[in-house]
Structure 1
Amino acid sequence: MRLRRFAAVIVPVVALSAAAACGGDDGDKTKSASGKELDKVTLTLNWYPYGEHAPFYYGKKQGIYEKHGIALDIKAGQGSQKTVQATGAGQTDFGWADTPPLMAGVGQGLPVKSLGVFLQTTPVSVQSFTSKGIKTPADLKGKRIASTAGDAPSKTFPVFLEKNGVDASEVQIQNTDPAGKMAAVLSGKADALIGYANDQGPTMQNKSGKPVSYLRFSAFGLNYYSNGLIVGERKLQSSPDLAKRMFAATSEAWTAAEKDQAGAVASMQGASAQLPPVSVLTDQFKTTLTLLHTDATKGKAPGINTTADWTQTIDLFAQTGIIGKPETPDEYWASNVAPQG
């Protein structure tokens, strides 16, 4: 049943994109400058490069991926949902994507799994100019909040309000596309937006010259898994050793980048024509580093997950309708690839 649903949903995507598929064939090899044999690997991000992605560029520049036998090619994405689809369809070897669309894809029969969630504390937050005086959830009463209907932040926002004693009817939601949220706040048409603390906030601050404040969901009783490394099941089954090396290299790259944050940001130079200014990249990456662990994984290497944390995320997403029928963690997570917390 799951495979049939996958065919119905994904085959049109494959048909449209087959010519541009960027995932390498099994056994695709190259050699390093020193003559070491490397596996060609494509990683598709969740979006155009921004501060969160610094460890990948740093790991490539510092030779960490090469040390693990990988010649890494980093591609910009167009949203986590498309990255999840492309990874499951074999159009890219690995992906970097948010957990909600991963789970939704699995529910539709998409053969894709997480190798490990790295951003284990959600970056979702209500972001506003500090001058608005929004310091607690109660301050949202009567405010106009820009949101994107149907995405995970918008679906979990009512739970965030309920946990903090705020009636959803007391908050005005303005639905718009992701880019429109920031424009609405910058223009004063909205008092705040629901988004990611390591993305929009630093950009708004840079564009406006005004300080931005955050109500992080995780600081007010609501946490769930966010972005992580994903792989299609075909690639996982045909190249299990490559999947393990990719996870190990990525975890090592994140550890190294955290120790050299300025160097990590500098490694992104030239990554994209849309790359934010260095000051924004620095703020984005600094905030990202606060998201790497839950209480259960503190002191562990980046990307190490626990069954309990996965279960908490699954339960919340089932409650909010992000996923339909909840499955066990092993349906979403290849727990045998990396050590467990």
Structure 2
Amino acid sequence: MKKLITAAGIALLSMAVAPASAADVKLMLNWTPTADHSPIYYAKSQGWYKNAGIELEIEAGRGSAATAQRVGSGGSQLGIADLPTAMQARGKGADLKAVMVIYANTPQGFYWLKSSGITGPKDFVGRKIGNPPGDAARLMWPAFAKSAGLEPGSVNFVNLSPQAKVAALKSKSVDIISDFYNEHDLKVREFGTDLGFAPWRSVGLNVYGNSIVANGAFLNQNKDMVAKFVSVTQRAYETCVKTFDPCLQALMAGVSGLNADNQRNQWERIKTLMRDDTTSKIALGAFDGNRVKADYELVNTLIGIDKAFDPAAMFTNEYLDKKIRMSGE
């Protein structure tokens, strides 16, 4: 009898200390995975999400607009989307809220060949810009155009996949491409001194970039889970900022067709995009409410938001671990 009681006690004890089964959570990226997503792949490979009770499924995206719509409709619990694009989606009824910023500075820029006669944005008039239809740069083009002193309808957009941009510029089937600053080194190697470049910041636009957004209903019902996801993700980005090689290895193991040197170059650019006073002094991933409000007003004024909302409802910093901050490295 003693043995039976002991066995039962051990079984009960095992049940008490065993971790709960992980909940399935889907994260839809903004595009196909690259260096900026490597911390997420690293955290997953290390079992950090699973240990936090999250069975994370990572899905490639097709642009910030598509991701914002999917998350806003509940098709994916979490996603990564450009914040101004997510604002436009919320104005159309998408139920979503940003819980962590990845790019505190906009990564957006336009590239062209100097040999085409383009010297800057003022020469974009009548030219062809190649990018995907769901690309944040296309949705935000009216804001860039007006800031640069152009009419929004003065250019022609050509649909391209992300992978086809450089080839299209090289073949001159388009005159300009939009792309993230992450990929800058690749273009410098491809085009050398013939490469022209205008970051959005050059015309006074520095809106928040890629951010982690959560479906509103999921967030309200799973606050503890979202807090755990955000904390793990913060820790992963902090770890990769300090030492990138293990994160690169996790990315390369999880995603085919990537060039390691290109991804390493990208990460050096990404660290610059992640860093501002708020992410360095408040928390890695934290939003500045005044900047969010300014981004909202810019989008509303230059592009339009179908149904107005309080910009403060677009984001929250409450799930961030304030002890984790972006380093100055």
- TM-score, normalised to structure 1, is 0.75
Following superposition, the deviation at residue 198 of structure 1 comes to 2.1
Work out which of the residue numbers 29, 34, 47 in structure 2 matches 1:45. 29
Work out which of the residue numbers 214, 236, 248 in structure 1 matches 2:219. 236
Q: Secondary structure at the match of 2:22?
A: strand
Structure 2 CA distance for partners of 1:38 and 1:282, relative to 1, 3 Å: farther
Structure 2 CA distance for partners of 1:323 and 1:279, relative to 1, 3 Å: farther
- 2:107, 2:55 → 1: CA distance? 30
Work out which of the residue numbers 280, 286, 293 in structure 1 matches 2:262. 280
Following superposition, the deviation at residue 174 of structure 1 comes to 3.2
Structure 2: 5+ residue stretches without partners: 1-16
What does residue 310 of structure 1 align with? 292
Following superposition, the deviation at residue 153 of structure 1 comes to 2.0
Superposed CA offset, 1:137-167 (max 9, x none): 45x4668351457854235445445545x54
Work out which of the residue numbers 120, 123, 126 in structure 1 matches 2:107. 123
How do 1:182-261 residues align onto structure 2 when only pairs under 5 Å count?
A: 182-199=166-183, 201-202=184-185, 204=187, 208=190, 210=192, 212-261=195-244
What does residue 8 of structure 1 align with? none
What does residue 62 of structure 2 align with? 78
Work out which of the residue numbers 231, 247, 265 in structure 1 matches 2:248. 265
What does residue 29 of structure 1 align with? none
- Contact map agreement 1:48 1:272 (CA 8 A) in 2: no
Work out which of the residue numbers 63, 68, 72 in structure 1 matches 2:52. 68
Structure 2 CA distance for partners of 1:308 and 1:124, relative to 1, 3 Å: same
> Comparing 47-56 with 149-158, which one deviates more in the overlay?
149-158
- Contact map agreement 1:304 1:338 (CA 8 A) in 2: yes
What does residue 26 of structure 1 align with? none
Aligned-residue sequence identity (percent) comes to 25
What does residue 89 of structure 2 align with? 105
- 2:121, 2:191 → 1: CA distance? 25
- Contact map agreement 1:146 1:185 (CA 8 A) in 2: no
Following superposition, the deviation at residue 276 of structure 1 comes to 2.5
- TM-score, normalised to structure 2, is 0.78
Following superposition, the deviation at residue 268 of structure 1 comes to 0.8
Following superposition, the deviation at residue 130 of structure 1 comes to 6.7
Superposed CA offset, 1:73-128 (max 9, x none): 32222322332233233333311222233222222222221112221211111123
Structure 1: 5+ residue stretches without partners: 1-33
Q: Secondary structure at the match of 2:56?
A: strand
- 1:290 pairs with 2:261: no
- Contact map agreement 2:158 2:174 (CA 8 A) in 1: no
- 2:142, 2:126 → 1: CA distance? 15
Structure 2 CA distance for partners of 1:150 and 1:65, relative to 1, 3 Å: closer
> Comparing 210-219 with 306-315, which one deviates more in the overlay?
210-219
Following superposition, the deviation at residue 71 of structure 1 comes to 3.4
What does residue 9 of structure 2 align with? none
- 2:115, 2:44 → 1: CA distance? 41
Following superposition, the deviation at residue 57 of structure 1 comes to 0.8
CA RMSD of aligned residues (A): 3.3
- 2:283, 2:108 → 1: CA distance? 23
Structure 2 CA distance for partners of 1:181 and 1:112, relative to 1, 3 Å: same
- 1:112, 1:272 → 2: CA distance? 28
State how many pairs are aligned: 302
- 1:174, 1:220 → 2: CA distance? 20
Following superposition, the deviation at residue 232 of structure 1 comes to 1.2
Structure 2 CA distance for partners of 1:90 and 1:172, relative to 1, 3 Å: closer
Following superposition, the deviation at residue 193 of structure 1 comes to 1.6
> Comparing 325-334 with 64-73, which one deviates more in the overlay?
64-73
What does residue 91 of structure 1 align with? 75
Following superposition, the deviation at residue 315 of structure 1 comes to 0.8
